Chain A
Amino acid sequence: MSHIPADLKFNASHEWVRVNADGSVTVGITDHAQEALGDVVFVELPAVGRVLASGDAAGVVESVKAASDVYSPLDGEVLEINAALESAPESVNTDPYGAAWFFRLQPSNPAQLEAMLSAEAYAQEIGE
């Protein structure tokens, strides 16, 4: 059983979103995703200022096993990236919802959040 925090939104490609007080959102990959990937050895992040559409490839996670794209869950502009992931990619395995956030986005279409999965729906999606 993987960990699925109740206060986050999810999508079927295993990204999570946390809505911050200022209206920006923080994006990462789920515990289930890191478990499936195995030990993460490299993370590639989008450039700050890049404008992403929902579903765009925004980065890459490389594990010992495979390379996997990370998709933007929402339309928006990249405000900040977690540069610490470049030197500590293993934090994706140890703290996927905390230290291993990927990037922060200013959503241009916040209504898209409503279409994302709740923790319960995501649990169902991954068969837990």
Chain B
Amino acid sequence: MSSALDVLLEHPGLWRGGECARAAAAAAVPSGFALLDRCLPGGGWPQGALTEVFAPVQGIGEFALFLPACARLTRAGRWVAFIAPPHIPYAPALAQAGLDLARLLLIKTEALTDTCWALEQALKSRHCGAAFAWPRRIEDRTLRRLQLAAEQGGGSGFLFLPQAAAANASTAALRLALGAADTGELELRILKRRGGLLARPLRLDPRRPDASVAASDRGPRALAHFG
């Protein structure tokens, strides 16, 4: 009985509130955290779209969260670009996380316009799997340009924005608010995703990705379809 119900619930035409959209999301790159992937449309970080990240402080694992995906992308031969990061990305740590550093681009810019331009160029390029930027602020118009560039190139754009910007409306496909939990874990609230909202925040240790997912060299996971 219960198995028949499960089969029914797996039907792509059936959508329950509180669940994320499955069929709507086209491409995604697995985040490396099974718990998180289940909550993300398409089962991972959206490709060909923008993700906004809001973190209160640096050093709570806000960037480690994206490293398994970066490792996967670089080892698949795609570029990962860091555009004007707040500090020096430390090569030994990136190598520890399994990134192929030969596929990593560090782009230094000074003006905000240059940062946005470089991000747009990176997203437009079909060879860039993911691009990260840390702009102090971003205008709506720029966001839409970047969204179009991401759609064109098929890469994932990640914007680390000041927490105050979380209150504004945004065209980004995914918006994450991060925080430090008392347990030392990372608390993750999904402010926006394609599909229904997630009521409860997630907790995970970003420095311990699921070994099975992180180690496998498969390409972006295909969606499972039933029926």
Query: Do these two chains interact?
Result: no
Q: Which residues of B contact A (CB under 8 A)?
A: none
